[in-house]
Amino acid sequence: MKSTPVKYLSRLIAELAVLLAIYLLGCQLAAWFAWPIPGGVIGMALLLLAFAFGWVKPAALQMGAGLLMAEMLLFFIPALMSLLDYGGLLRDDGWRILLVIGVSTLMVMLVTAFTVELVVRLRRPHEA
């Protein structure tokens, strides 16, 4: 049975509301405890914990996360446009900035891969 547009839209809004609530909770925790970690990172850790403990199934937030991922470029356009104001900085230190971006991206990819591998190995004995 195919879902109606109203049903689809209401589920999408509910999923986005859950993701926003987790983000805001992470921001609030960062502010309350004066942690130097951004609220978005804390929110992602909370979401990971919710997935790991089975409180939330990843499929339950799939549509909302998919929409945010599809529109991610819109979140970065203001940052890219501000680069036009800093042409001198890019000429002088652009290679250092690119090096930091490249190394940090590689580190994130490696940590993500090892985390996924660890979770799969930890879950495998429980499923057998």
CA atoms within 13 A on the CB side of 104: 6
Cβ of 42: how many Cβ atoms within 10 Å? 20
Q: Residue ranges of the domains in the chain? A: 1-75, 85-127
Task: For residue 36, give every residue at least 6 positions away whose Cβ sits within 8 Å of its Cβ, in sequence order, or none.
Answer: none
Q: What are 88-127's pLDDT values in tens digits?
A: 777 888 889 889 999 999 999 999 999 999 988 888 876 6
Report yes or no: 23 and 75 within 8 Å, Cβ to Cβ: no
Q: What are 26-45's pLDDT values in tens digits?
A: 999 999 999 888 888 999 99
